[in-house]
Every structure is written in structure tokens, then in C-alpha cells.
Amino acid sequence: MFEGKAQVYKIIRGLFITVLIGGALLRFSATAGEAVIILNNGDEVRNPSGKFSVGKNGAIGFRDDTGQVRRLKREDYRLIFTDCPKSVAIVEKYIRLLKFNEALEASKKVPAGYYWLGWGAFMCYLKAEAYLSQKNYAAALQELKDARQYASYERREAFIRVLKKVIAVEQSKGTEPLPQNADEGGFLVRGILLEKKKQDRAAVLEYMKAVMLFPPRDREGTLNLVRLSAQLRLIRLLKRIGEAGLAQGFQQQLVKEY
């Protein structure tokens, strides 16, 4: 165990609880099953049924809350908020269980239309994580490149930027200096670099900071994918260095949180 580190963990956990209580999570205002489309001019259009027709290149059709049939091209809208499809949730679940091969197989069953309905960038990120676990860096980078075309990309853009940095660091020799930024991305990258330097226990502490100091979702309800990346690496590293009990605890937390 990490003897002598118990007090550090206690402090970090206290800070984590403070963050959760002080930043009560908010959700985008939409009823269950309802979809919200944000146009490029900022106008908001609601689709009470949540049902869409989806054409090539992201063209969508739906009936709005006035009963009018709306048809929009991809360049007409910026964000789409819809309930998470079951097929997407299954992929996310496999990622959280560290079953990356199963996640990639399940991703093949996600209908293409869901990618255009606000879940494309999210799916690309999850698949990139799975490919990264296999050290398939080219496939991971391609997923992140593909993500840009989908609606709601900007909700994931900061996360994708960090994951691109992670991929670069994963392929490096680990000789670059540790980043100094005190956010989840900085802690994540520091953890990876410390692993490369064979400083596994120091890496664990960096991953723990990313997990414990930041909530799983932001105020709009967007999943914190950088924190998720740190959780995945923390669990794998704890297992590798023989801390099975701690790994199990963090994996249980991971399953419950999302």
C-alpha cells in the first residue's frame, strides 16, 4: 500500500467532495425524449418527439414544437442535445469496464444517424480511447480527426485536444518536461510521463488528482472525458503495480458515477 500517503489521499478526497458539493451539476433544459437543436445563429429549436430523419452529411428532418416540419443541412445547426442512445451507452459502459475490444465491436452497432444527432464526437473519443489502449495510434488520431464534422463537436473539443496531446506523449520517449498546468489535462499528461519514467507511484498520485479534484460532468452535464481517461489509466496502473484493492475501489466508483 501507499504508506505515508494516506494523509495526501484524505486531503485530495476532501477537495473532491468540496468540488462536487460546491458545483451542483446542471443539465440542459429539455424534457426526457425531447431534442434541442441550436442553430448557427444561436436560435433554439425544439423537437418534442426526439425523432429525426437523417440524410447524408448530417442533413436532418423533424417536426418542431409548433408542428412545423423542419429540414436542416449540417451547416445550418451547431449543437444537438438528445437523450443518449442505448447503443452509445453500451460502448461507454465497455470503456468504463476496460473492455476495449468489446467497445470497438459494440461501436459497429451504433447507427450512423446517431453520430449526426449530437453523439458523433463522443463516439469518436470513446473509440480513440479504445484504439489507444491497443497502441493503435493511427486509428486513434483518425477518430479524433473524424470527430470535427459532427454537431456538438465543440462540447468535446477541449477533451479531444488533450487526447491528441496524450497520443503524442504516448508515442514519445518521455523525456519532455512535466506540464505545470493544474487541471485534469495537466495531471493526466504528467501521470503518463511519470509512467514512462518508471515512477509509477508518483504517476498514481497525478491520476488521482485528475479523478478526485474534478467532477465527472460539468455544469451543463457534459461528461468529463479527460477525467475519464485518467480514471482508466489509474485503474490499469494500480492493477499493474499490485494494488488490486485500490484498483477495485476506483473501478467501482467509475461504474457508479456514469
**Torsion over CA of 151, 152, 153 and 158, rounded to 10 degrees?**
170
3-state secondary structure of 72: strand
Q: What are phi and psi of 78, to 5 degrees?
A: -115, -45
Domain ranges of the chain: 6-27+84-257, 35-81
Q: What are phi and psi of 63, to 5 degrees?
A: -105, 125
Q: What is the pLDDT of residue 220?
A: 66
SS3 of 183-252: the string is CHHHHHHHHHHHHHCCCHHHHHHHHHHHHHCCCCECCCCCECHHHHHHHHHHHHHHHHCCCHHHHHHHHH
Element (H, E) at 80: strand 77-81
User: Does residue 137 contact residue 167 with C-beta atoms inside 8 Å?
Assistant: yes
How does pLDDT run along the chain (258 residues), one tens digit per residue? 444 444 434 433 343 333 332 322 223 333 448 999 999 999 999 999 999 999 988 999 999 999 999 999 999 999 999 999 999 999 999 998 889 999 999 999 999 999 999 999 999 999 999 999 999 999 999 999 999 999 888 888 888 889 999 999 999 888 888 888 889 999 999 999 999 999 999 999 999 999 999 998 877 677 888 999 999 999 999 999 999 999 999 988 887 876
Q: What is the pLDDT of residue 145?
A: 93
Q: Interhelix angle for 184-196 vs 157-171, to 10°?
A: 10
Grid-cell match 508515442, residue found: 171
Edge-to-edge strand ranges of the sheet holding 35-39: 44-47, 35-39, 77-81
Grid-cell match 473509440, residue found: 127
Q: Would you list the DSSP string of 35-70?
A: EEEEETTS-EEEETT---EE-GGG-EEEE-TTS-EE
- In CATH terms, 35-81 corresponds, of 2.60.120.10, 3.20.20.150, 2.40.37.10, 2.30.30.100, to 2.30.30.100
Q: What is the pLDDT of residue 258?
A: 65
Burial call 86-97: b when 16+ CB within 10 Å, e when fewer: ebbebbbebbbe
- In CATH terms, 6-27+84-257 corresponds, of 1.20.58, 1.10.150, 1.10.10, 1.25.40, to 1.25.40
Task: Report which of 158, 216, 213, 159 is spatially closest to residue 182, judged by C-alpha positions.
Answer: 213
